[in-house]
Structure 1
C-alpha cells in the first residue's frame, strides 16, 4: 500500500506536490504558500469603477500582507500589498492561472468565468531572497544615525542655526503667511554640511546663530526632514500620500538623498497604478527624478500589455521612457544584459557600494557604474 504525504492549506484542504525531474534550489521548500479566497465574488463584481476591496491582513515571513482588488470599468487590478517587502520574492496565481507578478490586471469578464464554487481563489507564494537574487527594494543606510547626533537634535544651547517655518507649504497668501505662528527648529551647520549640503548653503553667514526663514514648507514636513538628518526618523510615513509627496519634494530640494529614496519607496508601495493614473505618476516621477517610481509605472504598462490604442499615454511621457521599456523587456525575459537588465534597486545598491550618487535616472546610474568599472580596469 502506498503512503502519500499531504500538507494542509489555510482552508483545510489537502495539498500534494509532484516534481518531475531534479528540483532546482529556486523551487525548494523555502517557498511559502498562502491561499486567499474572495467568496461570493459575483457580489463583489457589482462594485462601481474606482472602488477597492481589501482582504484581511495575513502574516508571512515576518510581514503583514493584504490582497487588494481595485475595480475599474472593464478590468480588476489585483495587487499584493505590504508596507515593506525588501528581501522577499512574491507572486500570485488566480484560480490556478499563473501570472507570478505581485500586481496583475485582469478583465472582469475573465474573472467571472474562472470562479471556483463562486469564489475567486488567489494563491500567493513568497520566499526570502538569497545571494543570487537581489531585494526588490534598496534604501541606503542612514549614516547620520548615531546616538551623539540624535542627542543634538533640537539642542538649543549648542545650535548655531535657527530655522523659522511660518505657515503651511500650501499657503500662497503672503499676508496670511506673515500672521501665522512661527515654528523654530534648531540645528548645526557642521551636521547640515555633511548630510544636507543645499540646506547648509542657506546658513552661510557670520551671524551665530544664523536665522533662516524657509518658505513653502510646512513645519510637519520640515520636522520629518530634520529628524532624518539627525538619524531620529523612523521611516513610517503612514498612508497620507500627499504628505509623502511633500517629503519627497523637500528631500529633493535640499538634497537629503536617503530620505528621498526612502519616501519614494513608501510612496510606490502605497500607489495603485491604473490606466487612468499611470501617466500622472510617470510624469511626477520624472519631475522629481524618482527612478524607482518611474520603473514601476513603465513595468505596469508593459506587464499589463497596454493595447496600441492606449499607447498614446506614452506620447506625453518623458523622453527617456524608452530606456525603461527596454529594461522592463529585458527583465521579463530573464536575460543577462548586464546593468541594462538590472532593477533600479539593484543599480542603486551597486552604486552605493562603490560610493557613487544613488539619486539618478537609470541612464545616469549605469553611466556612473560603467565609468567606475573603466577606471578600475
Structure 2
C-alpha cells in the first residue's frame, strides 16, 4: 500500500485563461486611406490587462504583404512584457456574409516591452500581427457608413489562480427539450397535414396523411402566440393545422422549446419555415430562416421581380434589402431592358433609392443615419430598445424615432 502526497508547487503555476477582452477599432473613411505599401494608420492607445496597446492598419499592406492585401499589427506600448492570445475580427455589416478572423487560435504570443528588439529564435516581439489579413477590395464591402470596424480580441493567463470551480449550467433549456413531444405531460394536441396539394401545371394530389403532435401550452404562449391562441390547455379534440407539412411543424415546435434547427434543414426548407413562422408569430425563427435564405438565394435579373415581390408579401426586410443591393449594383441599361419595374410594388422604390445612395456614399453627413442604416443594424437597435423587429425599414425607423431616438442615432 502506498500513500500519495499532495503535489508541491515550485514557482507560480500558470492559471486559467481570462475571458476575452474585445476592443473595437473604428477606422473612419477607410476607402480614402492611403494604399502605399508600408504606410499605416495607427490607433490611439487603449488599455487592456494593465498594458497600453495600439493597433496599426496598413490599407496597402506592409512591405512583405501580397499586393492588394491589408496588414494589421498589434503593439505593446508598455515597458513590460506580457503573454496574450489574440485575434483580429471584422464582421459582415448585415450578417449575411462571412466574418474575417485572423489569429493563432490557442497560441499564446509573447509581446516584449516597448522599445525592446524582438528575438526571432524565441519568436517574441513588441509588435505582432499579420501582413495578409484580407483583400482591401473585399473589405470595402464590409464598411459601416464608410467605417471599417476591426475588433481586437485578447485574453491572457491568470497566474497563480486555481482552475475555476465546476458549476453546472442552468438546466432549464435542456429540461424543456427533454419534455418535447412528451405525450403524458402534454396539455395540447395538434393534427397536422391532410391538405390537398396543388400547384400550377401539376395535377392535384390525394390528401396527405395527418400527423399528431403533443405539446405544452406554456412554451407556445411565450414563443408562438398565434399558435397558442388556436388551442387551450386540456382540449380533448386536437387543433387542426392545414397547409403546413408535418416535418415543418415539428421544426416549429422544437424551436419553441428552445431547440436549434439543423442548418441543412434550415437551408432546404427556408421558405416553408418562413411561411409557417410568420403565420404562427415565431418572429425570431422567421428572421433566422430569412437570413439563411438570403445567404443561399441566387439573384438574377430574370428572377429579381419574383423574389422581391415574395419578400414584400412576407415583410422580409433583409431579403428586400438584398434584392435592392443587387439592383443597385447591376448594369443599369441591362436592368432597364430585362426587369419589369411595373411589377415591383411602387413603395419599394424608396428602398432602391436608399440602396443606390448607400452604394454611392451619400447620406453619411446629414445627421440622419437611420435613413441609410442596414436592416440588420435597425433590427439590432430596435431589439435593444425592446421594440418589434418584424417589419419593413420604414416601420423599424418610425418605431425607433417614436421611442425617442430621433434622427441623431449613430450606427
TM norm. shorter chain > 0.5:
yes
Give the Cα–Cα distance (whole angstroms) in 2 for the partners of residues 283 and 149 of structure 1.
Answer: 38
Q: Deviations over 1:309-363 (max 9, x none)?
A: 3385322212321221232133220625311111000000001111111010000
Rate the CA distance shift 1:21–1:161 in 2: closer, same or farther, 3 A.
Answer: closer
Task: Find 1:352's aligned residue among 361, 377, 383.
Answer: 383
Aligned partner of 1:176 in structure 2 is: 206
Whether 2:277 is the aligned partner of 1:251: answer yes
Aligned partner of 1:18 in structure 2 is: 37
The structure whose residues are more often helix, as a share, is 1
Higher-Rg structure is: 2
**Structure 2 residue ranges without an equivalent (≥5):** 1-34, 44-54, 68-86, 102-134, 143-147, 153-171
Deviation at 1:185, TM superposition (A): 1.1
How many aligned positions are there?
A: 274
Task: Find 1:329's aligned residue among 335, 356, 362.
Answer: 356
Give the Cα–Cα distance (whole angstroms) in 1 for the partners of residues 300 and 56 of structure 2.
Answer: 31
Aligned partner of 1:194 in structure 2 is: 222
Rate the CA distance shift 1:233–1:216 in 2: closer, same or farther, 3 A.
Answer: same
Task: Find 1:317's aligned residue among 344, 347, 368.
Answer: 344
Give the Cα–Cα distance (whole angstroms) in 2 for the partners of residues 281 and 296 of structure 1.
Answer: 10
Q: Which moved more, 1:159-168 or 1:279-288?
A: 159-168
The answer on whether the counterparts of 1:167 and 1:219 sit within 8 Å (CA) in structure 2 is: no
The answer on whether the counterparts of 1:162 and 1:210 sit within 8 Å (CA) in structure 2 is: yes
Whether 2:177 is the aligned partner of 1:147: answer no
The answer on whether the counterparts of 2:192 and 2:212 sit within 8 Å (CA) in structure 1 is: yes
Deviation at 1:168, TM superposition (A): 6.7
Give the Cα–Cα distance (whole angstroms) in 2 for the partners of residues 256 and 320 of structure 1.
Answer: 26
TM-score by length of 2: 0.57
The answer on whether the counterparts of 1:167 and 1:218 sit within 8 Å (CA) in structure 2 is: no
Give the Cα–Cα distance (whole angstroms) in 1 for the partners of residues 330 and 344 of structure 2.
Answer: 17
The answer on whether the counterparts of 2:41 and 2:56 sit within 8 Å (CA) in structure 1 is: no
- Secondary structure of 1:162 counterpart: strand
Q: Which moved more, 1:224-233 or 1:306-315?
A: 306-315
The answer on whether the counterparts of 2:40 and 2:58 sit within 8 Å (CA) in structure 1 is: no
Q: Superposition pairs for residues 268-347 of structure 1, below 5 Å?
A: 268-307=294-333, 309-310=336-337, 312-332=339-359, 333=361, 335-336=364-365, 337-347=368-378
Q: Deviations over 1:208-253 (max 9, x none)?
A: 3551111111111111111111111235144855x21111100111
Rate the CA distance shift 1:129–1:216 in 2: closer, same or farther, 3 A.
Answer: farther
The answer on whether the counterparts of 1:351 and 1:369 sit within 8 Å (CA) in structure 2 is: yes
Deviation at 1:84, TM superposition (A): 6.4
The answer on whether the counterparts of 1:166 and 1:214 sit within 8 Å (CA) in structure 2 is: yes
Deviation at 1:280, TM superposition (A): 1.1
Give the Cα–Cα distance (whole angstroms) in 2 for the partners of residues 130 and 367 of structure 1.
Answer: 31
The answer on whether the counterparts of 2:274 and 2:286 sit within 8 Å (CA) in structure 1 is: yes
Whether 2:295 is the aligned partner of 1:265: answer no
- Secondary structure of 2:240 counterpart: strand
Rate the CA distance shift 1:368–1:97 in 2: closer, same or farther, 3 A.
Answer: closer
Aligned partner of 1:212 in structure 2 is: 239
TM-score by length of 1: 0.61
Rate the CA distance shift 1:303–1:100 in 2: closer, same or farther, 3 A.
Answer: farther
Query: CA-atom RMSD, angstroms?
Result: 4.2
The answer on whether the counterparts of 1:203 and 1:210 sit within 8 Å (CA) in structure 2 is: no
Rate the CA distance shift 1:288–1:188 in 2: closer, same or farther, 3 A.
Answer: same
Deviation at 1:148, TM superposition (A): 3.1
Q: Deviations over 1:99-129 (max 9, x none)?
A: 76769xxxxxxxxxxxxxxxxxxxxxxx985
**Structure 1 residue ranges without an equivalent (≥5):** 1-15, 36-59, 63-79, 90-95, 104-126, 132-144
Rate the CA distance shift 1:197–1:169 in 2: closer, same or farther, 3 A.
Answer: farther
The answer on whether the counterparts of 2:41 and 2:58 sit within 8 Å (CA) in structure 1 is: no
